[in-house]
Amino acid sequence: MPIILVADDEEDQEELILQRFSGKPFLDGYEFVFARNGPDAWRKIQERPEIEMALLDINMPGMDGLTLLGKIKDARPEMTSVIVSAYGDMTNIRSAMNKGAYDFLTKPIDLNDLEITLKKSLAQVRQVKETAKTERENQSLKIKTVEL
């Protein structure tokens, strides 16, 4: 089952996201996992290869979202990450985008914008997976052709 990791130290984010997205058809089969700090989020990413997407708050205890984004890009380049930051924090937002964030959201989070961003991000994950699968199949066919 694909998983979306939400890493945010604000306790109300978990409840807000679960209320908003329970029963949404585009999330059918997805599970949300929550982490309250950077080290916990990183541990969950390492333990669960089925995590496909991360929603990362820039300011978290233990490890900030930008550092976590860098670790994700190095270890799991196929994973997509969306950064969440305070309104007007363009320096950090630009830094996140330059480090490979797929998109960003500002707090307070607009739930309609979050829904659109989740849909786009998950479509990107599916496209990356499909491209990788096609490349593996093409490589296999090339090997078989050479063998024949």
Contact between 20 and 114 under an 8 Å Cβ cutoff? The reply is yes
pLDDT tens, position by position, 35-45: 999 999 999 99
pTM of the full structure: 0.82
Give the pLDDT of residue 92: 85
CA-to-CA distance for 38 and 103, rounded, in angstroms? 19
CATH no. for residue 97? 3.40.50.2300
Structural domains in the chain (count) = 1
Give the pLDDT of residue 134: 85
Q: Which residues form the domain of 51? A: 3-147
Give the pLDDT of residue 58: 92
Distances (CA, A) of 87 to 14, 45, 142: 20, 27, 50
